């Protein structure tokens, strides 16, 4: 799970452009199991689930997602949290883990 908070309203257009491109890339990526996005308390969250770590790493390091990560700090702040569950994670459970264990990026 990633949670991102844009620095201000001026950053929203670029943020949304990068987000929509990254979500489209994720939805067609090899090994993707699920893609979800929600706004919670002004923080924009994405939750992705992958069949394997290799496909997830290839996604993170390529295309629209890589471009978004290169601009991350100029657009805002956020935290990430990832783990390897035994079954499809529940949004609320992962959100609670993200709040407790999320790492600032």
Which of 7-16, 39-48, 80-89 is most confident?
A: 39-48
- pLDDT tens string 47-105: 999 999 999 999 999 999 999 999 888 899 999 999 999 888 899 999 999 999 999 98
* The two structure tokens encoding residue 65: 């997602």
* The two structure tokens encoding residue 43: 């923080």
Rounded to two decimals, what is the model's pTM?
Answer: 0.90
Q: Which domains does the chain have, with CATH numbers?
A: 2-104 (3.30.70.100)
Instruction: State the burial class of residue 68 (Cβ atoms within 10 Å of its Cβ: 0-12, 13-18, 19+).
Output: buried
Beta strands in 1-105 (DSSP E): 2-6, 32-40, 43-50, 76-80, 103-104
Check residue 73 and give its pLDDT: 87
Check residue 71 and give its pLDDT: 84
């Amino acid at each position: 799970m990633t949670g991102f908070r844009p620095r201000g309203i001026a950053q929203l257009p670029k943020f949304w452009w990068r987000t929509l491109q990254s979500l489209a890339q994720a939805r067609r990526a090899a090994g993707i199991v699920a893609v979800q996005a929600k706004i919670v308390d002004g923080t924009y969250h994405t939750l992705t689930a992958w069949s394997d770590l290799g496909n997830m790493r290839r996604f993170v390091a390529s295309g629209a997602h890589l471009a978004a990560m290169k601009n991350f700090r100029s657009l805002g702040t956020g935290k990430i949290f990832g783990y390897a569950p035994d079954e499809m994670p529940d949004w609320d459970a992962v959100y609670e883990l993200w709040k407790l264990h999320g790492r600032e990026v």
